[in-house]
Amino acid sequence: MYGDDAAVKIGVLLSGGVDSSTALVSLKEKHPEAEITAYYLKIWLEDELASLGSCPWEEDLEYARGACDMTGVPLKVISLQREYWDQVVSYTVSELKNGRTPSPDIFCNRRIKFGAFLDRVGETLDKVASGHYAVISEEENGLFRIHRSPDPVKDQTYFLSHLTQEQAAIAMFPIGGMMKEEVRKLAEKWDLPAKSRKDSQGICFLGKIKYTDFVRHYMGEKEGDILEADTGRKLGTHRGTWFYTIGQRSGLGLSGGPWYVVDRNKDENIVTVAASLEASAVARSRFTVVDPNWISGPPELPSRISLKLRHGPKLIEASISSLPGSEDGKERLEIEMDESDRGVAPGQFAVLYDGDVCLGGAMVEC
């Protein structure tokens, strides 16, 4: 990969989990002469969220130190708490207040892991490695592309879809071409401290805090009606429309279901639900996205693509086309999927693919 490993300076983002720990050791084995430094990014918002519960960042840091001790790689702790609040948490709260569904982990990668971190130390590094499940390639024309991981369940290109070309060029994903079971086997083989650690779940800055508690902390509660879509009859009450998203099934507390959220009216504080068949009937196959991010440049439009509406293995075939310009100057695209989905919600992201190449992503507008 490099003509002279000894001249290459690589920063490894180390969280203390099995994926980033295995990525560190794998990188060390492949590039023994490179100058490798591990970085633990401290983003836990102690002042804002301490009253809600604990974050295992100190435990994470100990696991990170253990991996570094094994490999002889120095570890530095970088505090990005204020940057995280300004660029990720404030966005999340703003989206909730505006009745949209936020995707904070997408912005965490662009704005923090490959953003604020690089602003802080990037000039000293040639590459930045992480434990993401994705594959980077460099084309003959010098463009870098991000490909889906061969592990469809663990693939994290959904969360990497807003990286810029410059960020893709500096990124390395040492375990990105592996299956999860391969990573676990390597961790066992190398006897890594994190070999038996469970994968983290949920949004990275919340630690062990429940997302609903985070939402309540910033948005409060406001009782409103839950109405049936077909009849308009009241089925129950809710604690605030911001606790729900389109397509949601769990957490409604209604009998006689299953029920699915099909609409939220923030101004009137009403959540509308439908039973399974009715929810399928109002599912959408066409929607508009705004401000697309193209990792390696835009495709020719109109075009056939595949897309993900959420992190996970499911891909949906679709057509994409440009929409006429508007007064606000924003680029908008129309997407028509080959199948309907009952979870298309304003604020979430549609991530677009050409084969296994992640083209980028755009926010669902309507």
Query: Are 45 and 94 contacting, i.e. CB atoms less than 8 angstroms apart?
Result: no
Is 68 one of the annotated active-site residues of the chain? Answer: no
Burial profile 120-152: b = 16 or more Cβ within 10 angstroms, e = fewer: eebeebebbbbbbbbbbeeeeeeebbbbbbebe
- The string of DSSP letters for 146-182 reads EEE-S-TTT--HHHHTT--HHHHHHEE-TTTTS-HHH
Distance CA 249, CA 275 (A): 10
Catalytic residue among 55, 108, 358, 366: 108
Q: What's the CA gap between 103 and 355, in Å, rounded?
A: 24
3-state SS assignment for residue 68: helix
Separation CA 102–CA 56 (nearest Å): 24
Whether residue 108 lies in the annotated active site: yes
Give the C-alpha distances (Å, rounded to integers) separating 267 from 165, 240, 270: 39, 11, 8
DSSP annotation of 20 reads H
Residue 308 is classified by DSSP as: E
Which residues, 6 or more positions from 156, have their beta carbon under 8 angstroms from its beta carbon? 132, 133, 134, 149, 311
> What does the block give as tokens for 6?
């000894």
Strand partners, 77: 40
Q: How far apart are CA 26 and CA 101, in angstroms?
A: 37
Annotated active-site residue in 68, 204, 358, 366: 204
- Count helices and strands in the chain by DSSP H and E runs: 12, 17
Amino acid residing at 301: L
Q: How many CB atoms lie within 10 A of CB 119?
A: 12
- Which residues are identified as catalytic? 108, 204
